[in-house]
Amino acid sequence: MSAQMKISVSDNLVMTAFNIDSNEVISKEVQQQIQTVDSLFAMIEKAIADGTSIEVIYNEEFGYPETAKIDLEQLAVDGGLFIQLSNLEVKDSVLALDDIIWKLESFDSIAGPQPIIDNTNISLSIDMENMQLHGIGGCNSYSADFILDDKTNDMTISNVISTDKACSEPENIMQQEMSYFATLQQIRFFTLYDTTINMVVGGDSGLHFVVEKNFDKEAEIESPSNELVLLQSAKAKWDSQSGQYYTIQSQRYCECEDEVSAQMEISVLDNSVLSAFDAVSGDAISKETQQEILSVDSLFALIEKAIADGISIEVIYNQEYGYPESTKIDLEQIPVDGGLFIQLSNFEIKDSVLALDDVTWVLESFDSIAGPRPIIENTSISLAFDMQNMQLNGIGGCNSYTADFVLDNKNHDMTISNIISTEKACSEPENIMQQEMSYFATLQQIRFFFLYDTTLNMSVGGDSGLHFVALKATSIALTEEQ
């Protein structure tokens, strides 16, 4: 409460407050007692009117009270009120955009404001230094470039890039997000007033934002914690720069088995760990240990939960990509190894098509216009890619096979030829040979491929083709027990 604070004020409302020595965010309780220059003037005026003893020195250049001593009876415990103000800096009001996180309150139209769907959150933060926007569209994180002219209040937003998650709840959340991104790219003007931003397309259409914590003059003021601000900034950087397929080295420090604490080289596709190897020995990490490996997105989620739960954390984020380079979380749920301590390094974004080469794929169904047809029980049809030699190999259910392939990653075109297999005859299960012949025939007709979230769809055309899943894919699902 008596710390030297740096506060920012817009329209007589405290936007942010930090301890100058530690740079930590001032607590909600203390922020409620912070006086702006205007509110201090009002208190001085009331003290004069009430005949209360005061001593005030006013700044000669700007007029604000540099020191104010007020002997208020209600503050008798601490000897009255003694405030010192210094280093006043008047800033262009547009810079207040950069000071906080904004929350969409409504879509504006000629018919009036349309509130966003209940239990959804659309946020916006503005990086004035790099002229970029970051935030959450309701489901996906996004970033964008912007240009503004604060004299004419003109604003142009471009290059809106978002992650590719699909959310099913609440109902219509994805349609709302698409509408938000579409409106964002049409913005032409902005106005900033009293902790609100209006971004206007034209006429009465646009977006209406409020300070994320949504306070007014009488409401309590609450700033995001330092840890949360750092997390949101790092995650926005990660979401805007990372690809869906990447490799990274991960090491967990704990009182645990050697394999668990080994330095690992892991590959991740759409937040699912495809493969993990001991970086020193080159040995594959066991299935049981793979289930404990956290991808970058899963680690972000765990950090966010720890912040929300008030758990002690220490995180250093990578300056270029935003991922957590080192993470210490004192989780009570894993006291055996003294908490969670993970170091990540050597991050590398890769072309997603290279994920084809990283695992063995297993056929799950034959696709057709009538719907997916699962393969015969107790049979296995596999496919492996050799991207260096542009060859396929695998098991057709009974026989081993090889084939040549050509692909165009940009157009998702694929051509498979020269299928050669061994000539065994299998009698069980029933119809296994017919299934194998159907598989080879379909494989030779493939024209397109689509890779998504540890699944591979090869299409002949229309709805016909082959649906594969990654054999070693380990989906990371965070639970409260982790």
Same domain, 345 and 230: yes
Give CA–CA dist 213/25, Å, rounded: 15
What's the whole-number mean pLDDT along residues 255-281?
83
Match 């971004």 to its residue by tokens.
199
The domain boundary, picked from 65, 84, 103, lies at 84
> Is the domain of 344 the same as that of 361?
no
The domain of 181 spans 93-211
Contact at 8 Å (CB) between 40 and 48?
A: no
Instruction: Give the model's confidence band at 224: pLDDT under 50 very low, under 70 low, under 90 confident, else very high.
Output: very low
Cα(226)–Cα(238) distance, integer angstroms: 18
Mean pLDDT, residues 312-326 taken together: 88
Maximum mean pLDDT: which of 29-33, 82-86, 256-260, 449-453 = 82-86
**Same domain (yes/no): 206, 245:** no
- Mean of all residue pLDDT scores within the chain: 81
Are residues 327 and 252 both part of a single domain?
yes
The mean per-residue pLDDT over the stretch 306-333 comes to: 83
Looking at residue 380, its pLDDT comes to 94
The pair of three-digit structure tokens given for residue 179, joined into one six-digit string: 């509408």
The answer as to whether 479 is a domain residue is no
Nearest CA to 257 out of 340, 337, 338 is that of 337
CA gap 303, 326 in Å, rounded: 11
How many domains, in total, are found in the chain? 4
Average pLDDT (361-376) is: 90
Burial per residue of 446-462, b for 16 or more beta-carbon CB atoms within 10 angstroms, e otherwise: bebbebebbbbebbbee
- Is 257 in the same domain as 306? yes
Last residue of a domain, one of 285, 318, 350: 350
Please state at what angle helix 296-308 crosses helix 226-241, rounded to 10 degrees.
160
> For position 175, what pLDDT does the model report?
93
Q: Are 231 and 331 contained in the same domain?
A: yes
**Residue 475 lies inside a defined structural domain of this protein:** no
Question: N- to C-terminal Cα distance for the chain?
Answer: 38
476, part of any domain = no
What does DSSP assign to residue 284? B
Same domain, 250 and 366: no
Would 456 be classed as within a structural domain? yes
281 with 342, same domain: the answer is yes
**Residue at which a domain ends, from 41, 64, 84:** 84
- Which three-class secondary structure state does DSSP give residue 238? helix
Residues 453 and 393 in one domain: yes
Residues composing the chain: 482
Q: What average pLDDT does the segment 391-401 reach?
A: 94
pLDDT above 60 for 292 = yes
The one-letter amino acid code at 110 reads I
286 within some domain: yes
- One domain, residues 160 and 264: no
The pLDDT tens digits for 80-127 are 678 888 888 776 666 666 667 889 999 988 778 899 999 899 999 888
Least confident stretch, 134-138, 322-326, 332-336, 476-480: 476-480
Q: State the pLDDT at residue 228.
A: 76
Residue 260 inside a domain? The answer is: yes
Q: Are residues 149 and 121 in the same domain?
A: yes
CA distances from 16 to 26, 39, 93, 215, 383 (A): 8, 16, 14, 12, 56
Average pLDDT over residues 131-148: 89
Q: What is the mean pLDDT of residues 286-308?
A: 85
Overall average pLDDT of the 59-76 stretch = 77
Model pLDDT for residues 407-449, shown as the tens digit of each residue: 887 778 899 999 999 999 999 999 999 999 999 999 999 998 8
Q: For residue 19, tell me if it sits in a domain.
A: yes
- CATH number of the domain at 383, please: 2.40.128.270
Q: What proportion of the chain, given as a percentage, has pLDDT over 90?
A: 24
Name the residue with higher pLDDT: 470 or 219.
470
Average pLDDT (315-341) is 75
CB 375 within 8 A of CB 396: no
Q: Does residue 113 sit in the same domain as residue 181?
A: yes
What's the count of helices (H) and strands (E) in the chain, helices before strands? Answer: 7, 30
pLDDT for 115 equals 92
Q: Is the pLDDT of residue 261 over 80?
A: yes
Within a domain: residue 12? yes
